[in-house]
Amino acid sequence: MKTQQAVVSRIKGICRERRISVNGLAYLSGVAPSTVKNIMYGNSANTGVVTIAKLCNGLEIPLRDFFNDDMFGEELEPEIE
């Protein structure tokens, strides 16, 4: 799994657990709905840490908790080919 895929998977998992839609996440985090949709649907090749931090703020979780997941502990494929 590539890092970007892991980020998307983690966001989707948290949203699913909390029953938050893409638009709901955008509203809670103050990130433009188009940006959140681009991330979630794989149109964003590299989600920046500032954007992830904003999403975490909207989800009310610390950034470290976002990355404290087994999928980030495994060997991720490099993004640059």
Residue 77 lies in a domain: no
Structure tokens at 3: 């890092």
Domains in the chain: how many in total? 1
Residue 80 forms part of a structural domain: no
CATH (domain of 51): 1.10.260.40
Residue 33 lies in a domain: yes
Q: Which two tokens stand for residue 50?
A: 């500032």
Q: Is residue 43 part of a domain?
A: yes
pTM comes to 0.86
CA distance linking residue 37 with residue 44, whole number of Å: 9
Residue 81 lies in a domain: no
| Model pLDDT, residue 52 | 96
pLDDT digits (tens, 9 = 90+) for 41-77: 989 888 999 999 999 999 999 999 999 988 887 777 7
Residue 40 within any structural domain of the chain: yes
Residue 41 lies in a domain: yes
Its domain, for residue 44, covers 3-72
pLDDT at 80 over 80: no
